[in-house]
A and B are shown apart, each in its own frame.
Chain A
Amino acid sequence: MKQIIPYGNADKLFDLHGRTCFIVGAGGIGATIAKAFAQKGAEVIIADINAHEAMQICANIQAEGGNAHTYTIDVTLKENVVKVVETVLQQFGKIDVLVNAVGVSATDSAVDFNEKAIDRILDINLKGSVFLNQSIGKVMIAQRYGKIINIGSIGGVLNHTTCTMPYSISKAAVHQLTRSFAGELSEYGINVNAIAPSWVHTPMMENRETAIYEGIRKGVPFGRMMAPHELIGAAVFLATDASNFVTGITLYVDGGYLSCKPLY
């Protein structure tokens, strides 16, 4: 499966034709990646707890001539994850790429954060990610091939946003589970990497305070929030042969945010 790319064939490095890509989380980021992968010739399988959302995106992709399918999944239930992955494997025969784009957050002060809310965030973001990496990892071990992409966050690296303590913990955990699975799966030719975005301009962001925008203008070298489509390239890189020698990394897509601390 893994191809040696000869000199002078660099466009093949980024090819997704014929790749079966399982994208979990059909929100702003997952949907954008799913559409792009389908446009690049991949067979796209979209799963979300929100069946309606996933079907909508699937229909959009199909309307544009892409190859897409949907499943309902709750990543917090291990048996459910295992079952969905089995069904997908039966139907499509292989899973080349996993994009794990599920995630939730909530805000409160760290000292007051409600226990139930903490559990929910860790169940979805942390344990859900573990279950996905475990079940897809097993499929990929059998295939002796695969690419896993977990979506982390700059929030898992810095105290990037205030009042999101459990979310930040869960994202730091996503970066670490990426390293753990990368280490264990490397001998089977499987690459496991994470993408850590800073602020993505999704509908969720529309209503945020202007203070955030002001902070970004001053604090991020590129001076603006990223559009969801600006995450696609990192996903394409990590899903294709272009990144065959890259594993365990967290790729920051942050407009230079981490590289500096502005003095004024």
Chain B
Amino acid sequence: MKYGLDFHNKIVLVTGAAQGIGKSISIGFASLGATVLLVDLEQNERRMVEIVNTADDVGGCAELFCCDITNDASVDKMLSDIKHQYGRVDILINNAGIYRTGPSVEYSYENWDRTSAINVRSHFFMSTKIAKHFMIPAGRGRIIFMSSTAAHFGVPEAVAYGVSKASTLQMTKALAAEWAKYNIHVNAVNPFFVATDLIAFFDEKTVESIAQKSPLKRIANPEDIVGGVLFLCSDLANYITGVHLDVDGGRTIAGS
């Protein structure tokens, strides 16, 4: 048995791949030989083109798909193109997400619905479609949900987000149990604060105080999340399913 990591001949689909954590994960896989299918909104096409070039430079390859994952027809069209072109998806990274804040008494239907549409509904159906058409027939597969430490705690003024992330942990466990018989591993990764656009609305002082409360005394960079994702998608994790991996600098285990 080889205890290294090798994703040559693996097709990896990453949603929300244009920037932030999804971008780092995509390049991480590419550097280990994978073919990465980058999925993000059309407005981010230029960013994805850059990642396609980087993927090439680091020894893998990538192709971009402009797709709003909440649009069912557009997802179906994309998956049918992928089926045609690649015939399979070995690894799915459900990573796209949004974070909309506001006092709960003012929170709009629109923000609630959009959060749950992207962070929950789209990930469920992306997973079921990919399982049905690719992973179950192949008798194997790896699915990662990019959840959050927000799944563990109350998230004041972002209840919709916290609920969405707690939902992905439930999906992780339920799908892990349901699809173990097909040798599909389903796991979650929980970052705490990561320096990406998602949290760009926090001012510097707040971010610094968040960092100081964290045992490792900093917030994460997107690169910090990559190792955990690669691990769970590799042969190193052959008996691991249904878990959530906190990649949070120790924040979850620390006191307030």
Where the two chains meet, the residues of A that have a C-beta atom closer than 8 Å to any C-beta of B are 4-5, 7-11, 13-14, 36, 39-40, 179, 182-183, 186-187, 221-223, 226, 229-234, 236-237, 240-249, 251-256, 258-260, 262
Closest A-chain residue to B253, C-beta based? A248
Question: Could you tell me if A247 and B216 are in contact, using CB atoms closer than 8 angstroms?
Answer: yes
29 contacts between A and B (CB under 8 A): A4-B223, A5-B223, A7-B58, A7-B223, A8-B57, A8-B59, A10-B226, A11-B5, A36-B3, A39-B3, A183-B215, A222-B239, A226-B239, A240-B227, A242-B228, A245-B216, A246-B245, A247-B249, A248-B215, A248-B253, A251-B243, A253-B239, A254-B243, A255-B239, A256-B177, A259-B174, A259-B177, A259-B243, A260-B177
Closest B-chain residue to A39, C-beta based? B3
Contacts of A253 in B (CB 8 A): 239-240
Interface 1/0s, chain B 153-169, versus A by CB < 8 A?
00000000000000000
Question: Could you tell me if A187 and B177 are in contact, using CB atoms closer than 8 angstroms?
Answer: no
Contacts of A226 in B (CB 8 A): 239
Question: Could you tell me if B249 and A234 are in contact, using CB atoms closer than 8 angstroms?
Answer: no
The docked-state distance in angstroms from the alpha carbon of A260 to that of B240 is 13
Q: A222-B239, A245-B216 are in contact. Are A256 and B180 (CB under 8 A)?
A: yes
Please pick, from A7, A13, A179, A222, the residue contacting B230 in the complex, using a CB distance under 8 A: A13
Question: Could you tell me if A40 and B215 are in contact, using CB atoms closer than 8 angstroms?
Answer: no
How many contacts between A and B, using CB within 8 angstroms?
Answer: 167
For A11, A39, A247, A260, which residue has the most chain B Cβ atoms within 10 angstroms?
A247
Question: Could you tell me if B242 and A259 are in contact, using CB atoms closer than 8 angstroms?
Answer: yes
Q: A7-B58, A11-B5, A221-B176 are in contact. Are A247 and B32 (CB under 8 A)?
A: no
Question: Could you tell me if B250 and A247 are in contact, using CB atoms closer than 8 angstroms?
Answer: yes
Question: Could you tell me if B3 and A245 are in contact, using CB atoms closer than 8 angstroms?
Answer: no
The docked-state distance in angstroms from the alpha carbon of A78 to that of B4 is 36
The docked-state distance in angstroms from the alpha carbon of A262 to that of B177 is 9
Where the two chains meet, the residues of B that have a C-beta atom closer than 8 Å to any C-beta of A are 1, 3-5, 24, 27-32, 54, 57-59, 172-174, 176-177, 180-181, 215-217, 220, 223-228, 230-231, 234-243, 245-250, 252-254
Question: Could you tell me if B253 and A183 are in contact, using CB atoms closer than 8 angstroms?
Answer: yes
| Nearest CB of B to A98, in Å | 18
Question: Could you tell me if A245 and B248 are in contact, using CB atoms closer than 8 angstroms?
Answer: yes
Contacts of A187 in B (CB 8 A): 215, 217
Please pick, from B236, B243, B253, the residue contacting A233 in the complex, using a CB distance under 8 A: B236
Q: A11-B31, A249-B246 are in contact. Are A260 and B226 (CB under 8 A)?
A: no
Contacts of A11 in B (CB 8 A): 4-5, 31-32
Contacts of A259 in B (CB 8 A): 172-174, 176-177, 241-243
For A229, A249, A256, which residue has the most chain B Cβ atoms within 10 angstroms?
A256
Closest B-chain residue to A37, C-beta based? B3
Question: Could you tell me if A232 and B180 are in contact, using CB atoms closer than 8 angstroms?
Answer: no
